[in-house]
Each structure stands twice: as structure tokens, then as C-alpha cells.
Amino acid sequence: MTDTAIIVVAAGSGTRLGRGVPKAFAELAGATILEHALRDLQWVGALIVVVVPTGYEADASVIAARAGIDALVVAGGATRADSVAAGLEAAGDVRFVLVHDAARALTPATPFSRVLCALAEGAGAVVPVLPVVDTVRAVDGTARSGGAEALQSLGAVVERSGLRAMQTPQGFDAALLRRAYAEAGDARAAATDDAQLVQMLGVEVVSVHGDELAFKITTAADADRAEALLAPEGSGVDELRTGIGVDVHAFGGGGPLMLAGLEWEGQGLAGHSDGDAVCHAIVDALLGAAGLGDIGGLVGVDDPQYAGARGEVFVRRALERLGAEGWAPVNVAVQVLGVRPRIGSRREEAQAALSAMLGAPVSVSGTTTDGLGAIGRGEGVQAIATALIRRR
């Protein structure tokens, strides 16, 4: 037994969306708009009435079940108000009614809570609203012939600070909404929301804060926005991770000095590969961020095929491993500790080489250790890298 009904109107044709199916039955991110709209509505504990185009009742029942909703499904009418009226009739004897557009499929719980609270506190009609952000002007009706498109002359600015854009769910004392519908007469056909019919009775309508996510999916651009927000893995927000890597090589290799993917003057670094501590530190930072171990596990430290291998080879292998798990680098910062080479003299070149290698910005800095320790005595080079990686 519940005293509240939520009427979800989903009987529109979706002309402006232009998907060739009634809008609520168009797919977004792997589910219909109706399914997205119904998900999580069960928490309200209300009777849920879904109003759909004639012939879509069975489909809607399946969709509601998939959304975890026990819904009453009825056929709507030619106008939105006709559909609401059909829902009102099906809702039966309840105390409060919330009317909600299925097209506002991403509406979170907060506007529902605010509307329910206002009703519980005695309001007869409650609408979630948002301030108007754009400058608003009326068209003055004079058509002007233009070039590619018809031009229309504009009238005065309408002061927007006193304006609000209406959203749903709109909440009502059920008896009041029934009376508004019964007495609306000709105004009913043109009504784009329910509160305006209540207002015609001279009854006060109050507002609560709406929500940006409760935008109405009307055009293809709205559908794209909704789809981007609904994309799996954290509502379109990238999953981010950071990692750190350190590597040290002593001078004494027979080959050239390779560091940050560049060849430098002077004695080379020792190592099974080319000893490029910067590249190796980057590899460990990337693998560590993704939780994929370290460079030893990636290539096998003594693998003969990597004898003298360029640092770039390991970076590419690490990027392949990350890519296989959906990870891509966002940026990397490396610091080189050592007496030589002087990083500052070729910083731009090193950054460009590493950025090209990673396909993401890499910054390089250098420092000495004030003469302390093996690095300070010029016995080798140390590199410390941090990596930020992301996945959709």
C-alpha cells in the first residue's frame, strides 16, 4: 500500500530525435531511454505507472522488469496531457502524484526527494527548476529574407534573473491535479507541463532545485550528451591511476651514452640494454600505475633479444601491455639525478622525443645531489618517473 504514484510519460513519438521509433524506445548506451528513466525508481516506494504509445505495452513491461521496476503499463494519447490523464486514471486512489518525463532519462534521485519533501510539508504543486543561463529575447515576428536561412528580427531582452526553466518530476496533491485536468478544457491540448494546468485553478505552484542531469533528451545532440554520460565505467569519467618508477645505471658501458631516448656526449651507461635509465623508469611508472608489475616481468632482464636494446623498445612494449588492458598514458614527468649529462641543455629535445614515444606529454627535469652519494660522485645516473594513466 502506497500513497504516492509516479506517472512516467513515455508515449511521445520523438519527432525531433528522429530515430524512427517512439523516443522512449530509442537506444542509448545499450538500453532504451525508458529503461534508463526507470532504473533506480523503485527506491521511492511508489506505485509506478508507465504510459506508452498504443501497441508498446508488452515491450514496456519487459523493459520495466529489466530495470527492476514493478510497473503498471497503460497506453497514452495524442498529446502529453492525454498521456498524463491516462496515467492518472490508472494510478487510482493515491494521495500524491509525481509526473515525470521518460525523456529526462538521467534524472538522479535528488529532484525526486526534494519534490516529495515539499509535498510532505504541505505544498499542493511542486516543480523542480533551473535558472536560465542564456540571454533571452523574444522574436518580434518580422520575417526578413536572408541568404541561406530565413532571418527573423529580434525584440527586447527578457530579464533572465527572474526566469526559471521547468523540469520534472512535478509533484502534486493527487486530488488537485485531477481537478486541474478536469477543468482544463481547451488549454489541455497545448499544455507542455502539468503545473500550468494547476496554476489555471489559481493554486500556488512552488519550486525546488532541479538538476542539470534532468535535462530532456529532445534532439540528437541531447542523445549524444546522454550517451556520453551513460557510457560504462564511471558515467563517462575516466578511471585514473598514478604510478612511480625509479632506475639507476652506472657509467661504464662500452656503447654511447643513451638517456631519454637521445644520444649524449661522453661515456655510456652500463647495462644489459642500452642503460637508458629515463626510459626504464618511465616503463616502471606506467606498469606500476596499471598494476602490471615491472620491467623485469615485462621483458626478462637477461633476455638475449634485448641485449643493447634501445629504451624505446621497452617503452613500446609497456604501452602495448597497458593498451591490452584499455590503459593509455595521460602524462609522465621524469627527473634525472646526476652530475652529467646536463639535462637542461637539451631538455626540449628530450621532452619531444619522449612525448612522441608515449603519445602523451612528457616533462623532463634534472638535478644533482649536491655531491652526495654515488650519483653525486658522478658514478652513474638515476631517473625517477611518475605516470598518470587513464581508461574509459
102 binds ligand CTP (CB under 6 A): yes
Residue 218 binds which entry of Mg ion, ligand CTP, none, with Cβ cut-offs from 5 to 8 Å by kind?
ligand CTP
Per partner kind, with CB cut-offs from 5 to 8 A, the member of ligand CTP, Mg ion, none near residue 101 is ligand CTP
Q: Least distance from C-beta 83 to ligand CTP, angstroms?
A: 3
User: For residue 146, which phi and psi values (nearest 5 degrees)?
Assistant: -110, -155
Of residues 76 and 341, the one with the C-beta less far from Mg ion: 76
Strand partners, 364: 334
Alpha carbons 95 and 306: distance in angstroms, whole number: 76
Closest to 269 in 3D by CA, of 258, 284, 279: 258
Using CA atoms in the order 107, 113, 116, 122, what is the torsion angle rounded to 10 degrees?
-130
Instruction: Tell me how far, at minimum, the Cβ of 74 lies from Mg ion, in Å.
Output: 18
Report d(CA 97, CA 44) in Å as an integer: 12
Q: Which is nearer to ligand CTP, 14 or 253 (CB)?
A: 14
x-or-dash pattern for ligand CTP, window 160-199, by CB under 6 A? ----------------------------------------
Query: Would you mind telling me the total number of residues written for the chain in this entry?
Result: 392
Task: Name the DSSP letter for residue 170.
Answer: E
- Asked if residue 232 has a cis previous peptide bond (ω within 30° of 0), the answer is no
The span of 9-17, 195-203, 315-323, 383-391 binding ligand CTP (CB under 6 A) equals: 9-17
Alpha-carbon distance of 88 to 333, in angstroms, equals: 61
Stretch that binds ligand CTP, among 15-23, 128-136, 143-151, 196-204 (CB under 6 A): 15-23
- Nearest approach, Cβ of residue 66 and ligand CTP (Å): 18
Report the alpha-carbon distance of residue 63 to residue 34 in Å, rounded: 7
Residue nearest ligand CTP by beta-carbon distance: 12
CB neighbourhood size of 90 (10 A):
17
Q: Which of residues 45-84 bind ligand CTP (CB under 6 A)?
A: 51, 76-80, 83
Residue numbers at the binding site for Mg ion (CB under 5 A): 12
Report the interface residues with ligand CTP, using CB under 6 A. 9-17, 23-24, 51, 76-80, 83, 101-103, 216, 218
